[in-house]
Amino acid sequence: MAEDKNLVRYDEDSIRSLDWKEHIRLRPGMYIGKLGDGSAADDGIYVLIKEVIDNCIDEYTMGHGKQVELTIEGKTVTVRDYGRGIPLGKVIDVVSKINTGAKYDSKAFQKSVGLNGVGTKAVNALSSHFLVTSFREGKCKTAEFEKGELVKDHKEVKTDEPNGTLVVFTPDDSVFRNFHFIHEYLDNQLWNYCYLNAGLAMHFNGKKYVSKNGLLDLLQRKTNPDELRYPIIHLKGDDIEIALSHNNDYGEDIFSFVNGQYTTQGGTHQQAFREAYVKVIRDYFKKDYDASDIRTSIVAAVSVRVQEPVFESQTKTKLGSQNIAEGGQSMKSFVLDFLAKQLDNFLHRNPATADALKKRIEQNERERKELAGIKKLANERAKKANLHNKKLRDCRVHLNDELPAKNKEAFIATQKDTTIFITEGDSASGSITKSRNVDTQAVFSLRGKPLNSFGETKKVVYQNEEFNLLQHALNIEDGLEGLRYNNIVIATDADVDGMHIRLLLMTFFLQFFPDLVKKGHVYILETPLFRVRNKQETIYCYDETEKQAATKKLGNKPEITRFKGLGEISPEEFGRFIGRDIRLQPVILEQGDHIQEFLSYYMGKNTMERQEFIINNLRVELDLID
C-alpha cells in the first residue's frame, strides 16, 4: 500500500522534551493566564508582579518582615521585602527549578498563597531580564537571568542590608506585546494585600499603603457611608473575617479572599458565604425570603485562611477547596457555623441594624414583584424584535447552543476571549461586522442616542427598547453568572456625539449593572484619528503627538488622512484595529469612587457646577498648549 504523502509524519523524531523555561514560554497561559497588554486587571504582567509579592506576603504571614516595597520605572519592576531571605545556597534553584520551594513544607508555610513551586520561575522565564538577590544574616547572593537562562552567578558577599529578598525584572516584550502598566490596577491590588494583612506596610513609587482594620477598611473605602442602609457589620474569627452591609446599588458586590489572595472569580468560600448568609437571615427573621431579595444590594468582603488551598488554575482566581484543611470541616459548614453564631448574635445586640436590614430586604421584594409583569412583557418584545437578526451579529461561540453541553471546559476557555462591540449607526457596525473575528467577536448596533438613565429605576431597562435588547444580548438580566461576553467594548466615534453616547452607555452600566464595570468587563475602543502614509509605509496614529512623530519619520510631505468617524475606516483597515493589536481603554472605578456620587456629578442636573469644571479644565488644557 502506497504511503499517503499528505499524512503528517509521527515517529520518534516527533517527540520533544522541553525544559522548564521552554515550556513556560511556549505555553505561558498555563502559568499566568492570558497575556494581554496591561489594559485588563488580570493580564499577565500583573500576574507576574503578584507572583513575586505573594512570596513577600507569605513571609509576613509567617511573622517575618512588616514592609514590602514596589517600584516601577518604565517597564522594569522592583520588589523588595524584609523577610528571612532565601537560603543563600538555594537562590538559583528557587527561581529556576520547577517544584522547588519551601511551600511543600507545611510547617514553614502553614497557610500560604503559593503552593505549586511555579510562581517566580514563570516570572523568570517570561522576563527579558530577571535579577534576584537574597540578604541573609550579613551576607547576600545575587543571580541574573535572561528569559530564564542563567547569565551571571554572583559570588556571596558581605552586606549591611537587612534580611530579605530583592527581585528586579522586565517582562519580555516579545511575549507581552505593546504592554503598559496601569497604576490604578496596581493601586487596587496593593490595597487588597493590606486589607488582608492588617499592619503590613506597602510602598509603591513613594505612596504608602497600610490598613489597621482589615475588611472594615476595605468596605469603608469601597462604599459611600451616605448610601449604606446600616453601619458596616464587621465579624472576625479564627481563620475567617467578614464585613457586610447593604447600599442602593443593584446586584451583589462581594469581594472574596483566600490566604490573602483576591479570588476575583470567587469559588467555594464565596458560594458558601452566599448560601450561609441567606440561611442565617431567614432563620433570624423566621421568614422564607427569596434568596435574591436577601442578597440584592449587598456589599460584602469575605476572607478565609485554609491549609494547602486548591485553586482552579495557577493564577489562583477561583478557589476549589471543599474543606478548610485536609480531612477537616467542609467550607460550607465552616462558614455557616461562623455566621450562624456571630451574625445572629450581632443582630440581636443591634436591633436598629436588624430593622434596617429587614426594610432593605422587603424593599427588594416589593421591587422584584413590581417588575415581574414588566419583565414578562419585555421578554416577549425582545423575541418579537428578532434580536439576533436586527441588532446583534453574534459570534460562533454562541451560535451553537450545544457546545457548552458537549465540551464545557473548552467553552469556558473560549468564553474568556469573547468580545461584543457596541456601535452607533449602520456604517460603523457594518465596518466592524465585516472585519471582526467571527468566532469570538460580536457586534451590537445602537439606534440613536441611548436614554440618560441616571436617577431612573430598573423599570426603564425593560421599558426602553434599546436597553432591553442590550441586556438580553449580554444575558445579564439575572446577574453576571450568565454574561455571554467577557469584554464589552463601547465603539463610538471620537467626536462630541460619540463621547456623549459613551457617557450614556457607561451611565446605564453603572446605574443598573455596576458589577460589569467593577469586575473589569467594560472598555472603550481606541481607533486611530490619523493615517499617515507614503508609497513605502503606512502609519496609523491615535493622537496628535503620534501624528507628528509619523510625519517626521516618513518625511517628504506624506499623505495625512483625518478619520472623522468609524464608518470612514474601511473594513480591511478596521481589521487591524480590532485584532491582535487592538487598543482598549478600560473603564476603571478608582479606590474611593462612589457610583451614585460620580453619576450625580457627570449626569445629574448640577449644570452650573459641571460647566464651571469644564471651563476651568479647558483653561488648563489651553495653558498647556501655549
Q: What is the pLDDT averaged over residues 583-594? A: 76
Residue 581: the pLDDT is: 79
Half-sphere exposure of 582 (CA within 13 A, CB side): 24
Half-sphere exposure of 3 (CA within 13 A, CB side): 4
Is the pLDDT at 228 greater than 80, yes or no? yes
What pLDDT, in 10s, does the model give residues 358-387? 999 999 999 999 888 888 888 877 777 666
- Decide which of 608 and 111 is more confident: 608
Residue 115: the pLDDT is: 43
Reading the block at residue 399, the C-alpha cell is 451560535
Is the pLDDT at 404 greater than 50, yes or no? no
What pLDDT, in 10s, does the model give residues 274-308? 999 999 999 999 999 999 999 999 999 999 988 88
Asked whether 344 and 284 are in contact (CB, 8 A), the reply is yes
Phi, psi of 203 (to 5 degrees): -125, 130
Burial call 99-135: b when 16+ CB within 10 Å, e when fewer:
ebbbbeeeeebebbbbbbbbbbbbbbbbbbbbbbbbb
What pLDDT, in 10s, does the model give residues 172-214? 999 998 899 999 999 999 999 999 888 999 999 999 999 999 9
User: What share of the chain has pLDDT > 70, as a percent?
Assistant: 84
Edge-to-edge strand ranges of the sheet holding 559-562: 538-541, 530-533, 559-562
* pTM confidence score: 0.80
Asked whether 491 and 499 are in contact (CB, 8 A), the reply is no
Residue 4: the pLDDT is: 56
Residue 137: the pLDDT is: 92
The pLDDT confidence band at residue 399, using thresholds 50, 70 and 90, is low
H-helix or E-strand containing 74? none
Residue position matching grid coordinates 458565604? 273
Q: How far from 533 is each of 260, 559, 571, CA to CA, in Å?
A: 51, 5, 18
What pLDDT, in 10s, does the model give residues 453-487? 888 888 888 888 889 999 989 998 887 888 899 99
**Radius of gyration of the chain from its Cα atoms, rounded to whole angstroms:** 27
The pLDDT confidence band at residue 50, using thresholds 50, 70 and 90, is very high
DSSP three-state, residue 138: coil
**Mean pLDDT highest for which of 125-134, 312-321, 449-458?**
125-134
Closest CA to 276 of 347, 345, 337, 215: 337
Say how far apart CA 215 and CA 237 lie, in whole Å: 13
Amino acid at position 254, single letter: I
Residue 382: the pLDDT is: 75
Residue 383: the pLDDT is: 74
Question: How confident is the prediction for the chain on average, in pLDDT?
Answer: 85
Residue 415: the pLDDT is: 63
Q: Torsion angle of alpha carbons 593, 588, 441, 378, nearest 10°?
A: 10
Say how far apart CA 238 and CA 426 lie, in whole Å: 59
Count of residues making up the chain: 626
Residue 567: the pLDDT is: 75
Is the pLDDT at 621 greater than 60, yes or no? no
Q: What is the pLDDT averaged over residues 148-153? A: 95
H-helix or E-strand containing 28? none
Long-range contacts of 504-509 (CB under 8 A, 24+ apart): 504/449, 504/450, 504/451, 504/452, 504/453, 505/422, 505/450, 506/587, 507/452, 507/453, 507/454, 507/599, 507/602, 507/603, 508/450, 508/453, 508/467, 508/470, 509/587
User: What share of the chain has pLDDT > 90, as a percent?
Assistant: 46
Say how far apart CA 198 and CA 211 lie, in whole Å: 5
